A and B are shown apart, each in its own frame.
Chain A
Amino acid sequence: MSTTRTENDGKARLDDMKQGVLGEPLPRIDGLAKVTGTARYAAEYPIDNCAEGVLVTSTITHGTVTRLDTQAALTMPGVIAVIDDSRLITRAVQGTAGEAPQQAPVTVCYWGQPIALVVAESFEQARDAAKRIHVEYDASPNPSLSPDDVTPEEQEDDTVSQGDLEQAMKDAAHSVDVRIATKGHASAAMEPHAAIADWDGEELTVHASLQMLNYNISELADALDIPEDKIRLIARFVGGGFGSKLGISPDVVAASLASIKLKRPVRVVLSRQQVFQCIMRRSETTQRLRLAATSEGKLIGFGHEALVSNLPGEEFCEPVLQSSHFMYRGENRELMLNLARIHRMTAGSVRAPGEAVGMPALEAAMDMLAEKSGVDPVQLRLMNIPDKDPENDLPFSSHKLAECLRQGADAFGWDAGPRKARQRREGEWWIGTGMASGARIHNTMESRTRVTLSADGTARVETDMTDIGTGTYTILAQMVAEMLGMDPAAVRVDIGDTRHPRGPGSGGSWGASSIGSAAFLACRAIREDLAARAGVAEEALDLRDGKVGGGRTLVDVLGGESLSHEGHYKPAKAQEEYTAAGFGAFFAQVRVNHFTGETRVDRMLGAFGFGRVLNRRTARSQFLGGLTWSIGTALTEALEFDPRDGHLVNCDLAEYHVPVHRDVPDLDVVLVEERDAIASPIEAKGIGELGMCGGAAAIGNAIYNACGARVLQFPITPDSVLASLPRDSCKLLREAGAMRGLA
């Protein structure tokens, strides 16, 4: 039997279930396969007769390809073809686009843009041949390469002007007006983008490393101009995405076109350099924060402006202000987001787009306000939490910031009170603490999943939802086991295949709450069938350990039949009547070397309120990851572009510095559990990104507290610390001279 349930009555009833596995810290059910290497990633499928493709990329920034001389390449041993089909995509597709970009490969818009694909019998042959293709260009003379080169476009949707901020700044007892810059980021997922496409004359099967198959299938169909029902996308394991695999990437389309043309399987794996050069970047930002407060520290004015960049023609605009709209009170408000069109690779979603850089800047400004007003930083946040959305008056679906601040401060051992910089020194090291708040908007997406309860008492969940390392496999098993009263080991989770019902995709932290809700609804429909058989109301049905009401077994009640339902979750209208977000508080202790300006994080803690905990272990792991990225944002991560031709210079993991083990100290996570009935039917909110929305400021504020260097940029590198140290002695003044090359 198969019926569709579309529902969101806001009543979870999950707390009434009897199995008691949801929320438990179950180890990942896919963990063993991963650590033993049996989990297959896209490029690892053994496929007979597979040819290898390598992308040819542009060595100019802007212009037109006038000639592609393939002669030399085509005569090389093993080379099969050069594909320069106009359907090749030249940019990674934005998340949830659902369609292919319009731009053809002959029009070059950024350095490193894919132009063609070389296919050969071996990877080495293809890689060598790709370098021998001679490309002639008609290059544009002066492409804009830096946001400072152009007049930006105002993003009107983000503009808010309420009251009179300028007057408020004048009236304020304490005010802060500061500019803070953040450098661009790369997702830096471990697994490079890769695809194996196999066209059998009828159907195209593609193993790919993608986050949102539900959209990706439409994007690929659109790119190739073939119907969706001729395509099967498979992504059972994804080695990290962090936004960079939301939309299809050039490898997927190139492999598909080559396979269709050559009538054999073709694999395309991007090199690490290509991943950096032609997949999403997070835009650099320059932000201006204005805070106006009363003598006690109550905000009366709030201003946040940001300038970000993207390629011409791209709609995405790093949503820096996303949570600033509702984070703090302040009746006089000015918010404005500007977008500069420049020729760097596509800017798109990279780990917590918006808040990952907007929150740290805001929270650095709040720290400055705390100092000016002499108010304890935790107190300052507490007194400025709004009781409703300050811009549209909507209520919050739930709001745990105050609890996060209090519980976090407690667990960290925060010394309350006004603060002074440079109070603690251990040998060469200044020691300091800092804190920050954070928020990440909550979304859910339409999702479907099929749950089947088999006659033998085991269950199966099927959806095209992916697990990008976050724990989707495990929480789906737990959800079904909880609802149907069985051991999670009896639940088979079959995901990452477009033959299954469409899930929400992994992105925007909406995965667990959306697909979990679809599974919940499917299970509830199965419970209704079972209840009918058992002659009780569904609410009264007691399922535990494979038994119904503690008596008959499920197998008995099923009597040789299986029950199957598709759960269909659609975000409820009611959600639009609330502002929904996850909230958190971050605390850090750092040491700054007074000789070298190096910063090391001693310890860090995050306290988070994010709805129901589906699995304490995977939830905690998500936050540990977020805190780790916070360290990267604070101290090391920066994309560097050549000032003359705009190419990305540090395009590998040796030179793009994500934190390594030694940078990551003891991290502590406090889960402030809550139920948010508005957020989703299972009362859960997104957590994946929340852990890095603000954390960088806790580190930056701790650096200031340690050594007095207020660095107004992220990352805070040793040279920037040295340059911002208070110039309080002759010797330091002499060094300031040396900084300008006068040593």
Chain B
Amino acid sequence: MQPFELVRAPSPSDAAQLTKDEHTRLIAGGTNLLDLMKLQVETPSRLADISRLDCAEITDTPDGGLRIGALVTNTATAVHPRVRQDYPVLARAILAGATQQLRNKATTGGNLCQRTRCFYFTKIDQPCNKRDPGSGCSAIEGVAKLHAVLGTSDQCIATYPGDMAVAMSALDAEVHIMKEDGTERSVPVRDFHLLPGDTPWRENELGRGEMITAVTLPPPVGGAHYYRKVRERSSYAFALVSVAAVIEIEGGVFTRADLAFGGLAHKPWFDPAIGAVLLGKAADDALFDEAADVLLQSARGFGENDFKIPLARRTLRAVLTQAVEDAA
């Protein structure tokens, strides 16, 4: 860890302003940033503490949705009565992540911006295009069990490791961003994270001079909510594959199928075509496979993570099968 100056941002727009300096990082719960600073993956010379800003509330929105402040802890979101009642997929996704202690510190904004768990990204003496542009990607021919099979590039095959954003993606939530001048813009969660392409260091839509202030959820979407996370140990492990699903089945046919996937790509994977396969059709194994075919049409493994391709298919099948059973 390198020495740094700690300042407290008096307001979100001040915080946004501070990030114009490329050596400044916002710190919320610190559960990701501090680890990376100890490893010198992140070497900011200034930290702007946003943890006491007034963005730590969950409030109803006029249209009946919910606004979750950027500094609400993951625990507070997961236990909120309206989240549990109207958006259980979100509560389940959060509770499937990390540990209670981490969730008590982790925040909405920090969770969205958490960085990849790629083994090579976190070791500063290994080549990594994300950390050190142009140095190469060590994972492509290295230990890549955790890595992506969708939307990869020859520059980077890392995954976005989080759970919360996968559920938010299924729910079509919006990320609210404050700019340095105090104005706000918003971006759908589905578009917030980026694919690596030729710029793997750019992970999301957030630019310099911006800070996340909240995430809003649309009015309750109904349906049955599922979050299925496959992992090697039953807790405290990142997803090999995860599926967030909001499903409605009426008269034996799918009338809603909002599906997002974690562990497969540099972003929560959402493709409306996957759910569209199901809509208006009666459930059967062949139909599930057809949906999986759409999900996996461009999938490509890198040896160690080849298994994710059939695993994603099987996990999708598991979720849909369960939804059909529950609806019966």
Contact = CB atoms under 8 A, between A and B. Distances in A.
Interface of A: 59, 124, 127-128, 131, 271, 273, 428, 593, 595-598, 600, 635-636, 640-644, 647, 649-650, 654-655, 657, 659-663, 715, 717-719, 722-723, 731, 735, 738-741, 743
A18 B240 CA distance: 59
A661 B230 CA distance: 17
A131 B40 contact: yes
- Which 5 pairs of residues, A with B, have the shortest CB-CB distance? A595-B318, A719-B307, A649-B119, A662-B235, A59-B125
B314 A739 contact: no
B143 A640 contact: yes
Interface string B262-300: 000000000000000000000001000100000010011
Interface in B230-275: 230-237, 240-241
Contact of B232 (A718, A722, A738): A718
Contacts of B235: 660-663
11 contacts: A128-B2, A593-B318, A596-B315, A641-B143, A662-B234, A718-B230, A723-B307, A735-B310, A738-B310, A739-B307, A743-B296
A743 B1 contact: no
B3 interface: yes
Nearest to B309: A743
Contact of B230 (A596, A635, A642, A644): A596
Contacts of A663: 233-235
Contact of B311 (A640, A649, A718, A731): A718
Interface of B: 1-3, 38-40, 117, 119-120, 123-126, 138, 141-143, 145, 230-237, 240-241, 285, 289, 296, 299-301, 306-307, 309-311, 313-315, 317-318, 321-322
B151 to A, nearest CB: 15
Nearest to B125: A59
A636 B233 contact: yes
B310 A642 contact: no
A596 B318 contact: yes
B66 to A, nearest CB: 29
Nearest to A735: B310
A214 B7 CA distance: 51
Given A739-B310, A741-B306, A743-B296, A644 B142 contact: yes
A654 B231 CA distance: 13
Contacts of B237: 657
Contacts of B289: 731
- Max chain B C-beta neighbours (<10 A), residue from A596, A635, A715, A722: A596
A647 B123 contact: yes
A688 B237 CA distance: 28
Contact of A643 (B142, B236, B311): B142
A451 B70 CA distance: 62
A731 B290 CA distance: 13
A75 to B, nearest CB: 14
A124 B3 CA distance: 8
A128 B1 contact: yes
B69 to A, nearest CB: 27
A647 B318 CA distance: 37
A597 B289 CA distance: 18
B307 A124 contact: no
Given A127-B1, A636-B233, A660-B236, 12 more contacts: A131-B124, A595-B321, A596-B311, A635-B232, A636-B232, A649-B120, A655-B117, A663-B234, A719-B311, A735-B314, A738-B310, A741-B309
A743 B119 contact: no
Contacts of A654: 117, 236
A642 B234 contact: no
B307 A128 contact: no
Contacts of B321: 428, 595
A650 to B, nearest CB: 7
A718 B2 CA distance: 40
Contacts of B236: 654, 660
B306 A739 contact: yes
A740 B285 CA distance: 22
Nearest to A127: B1
